[in-house]
Amino acid sequence: MGQTVTVGDRRMTVENPRIRKAVVTTGMAHTRVVTHAGQFVVVDVLINGAQPDVRAGNLDLWSSVDEHILSDSDPLSSLVGESAAYAFTFPARRHDRAAIVHRTDGAESGADVYWNLPAPHRERLTFEPKFTVSSFRVPKHNGQRALELTVANEGKRDGTFRARVSLKGFSGGSIVEFPVPAGESRTYTGSPGDILLYLENQGGGTLTVQYPADGGLTSVERTVQLSRTATGSNT
In angstroms and rounded to an integer, the radius of gyration of the C-alpha atoms of the chain is 20
Tens digit of each residue's pLDDT (9 = 90 or more) over 138-148 = 998 888 889 99
Tell me which DSSP letter residue 108 carries.
Answer: P
Tell me which DSSP letter residue 93 carries.
Answer: S
Domains and CATH numbers, the chain: 4-126 (no CATH), 131-234 (2.60.40.10)
- Written as one letter, the residue type at 52 is P
Residue 134 has pLDDT above 60, yes or no: yes
- Written as one letter, the residue type at 66 is D
pLDDT for 228 equals 46
pLDDT for 28 equals 73
Residues making up the chain, counted from first to last: 235
**Most confidently modeled of 27-36, 47-56, 104-113?**
27-36
Q: Specify the pairing of strand 216-225 against strand 140-141.
A: unpaired
Tens digit of each residue's pLDDT (9 = 90 or more) over 35-70 = 988 999 999 999 999 988 766 667 889 999 998 999
Report CA torsion sign: 185, 187, 193, 199: positive
CB 112 within 8 A of CB 101: yes
pLDDT for 8 equals 82
Buried b (16+ CB within 10 A) or exposed e, 112-126: bbbbbbeeebbebbe
Residue 91 has pLDDT above 80, yes or no: yes
Q: Specify the pairing of strand 204-213 against strand 159-167.
A: antiparallel
Percent of the chain with pLDDT over 90: 60
Q: What is the mean pLDDT of the chain?
A: 88
pLDDT for 56 equals 62
Among candidate residues 108, 131, 10, the one with its CA nearest the CA of residue 59: 10
- Report the C-alpha gap between 218 and 68 in whole angstroms: 31
Percent of the chain with pLDDT over 70: 91
pLDDT for 170 equals 84
Residue 110 has pLDDT above 60, yes or no: no
Average pLDDT over residues 104-124: 80
Residue 155 has pLDDT above 70, yes or no: yes
Distance from chain centroid for Cα 177: 10
Q: Decide which of 78 and 64 is more confident.
A: 64
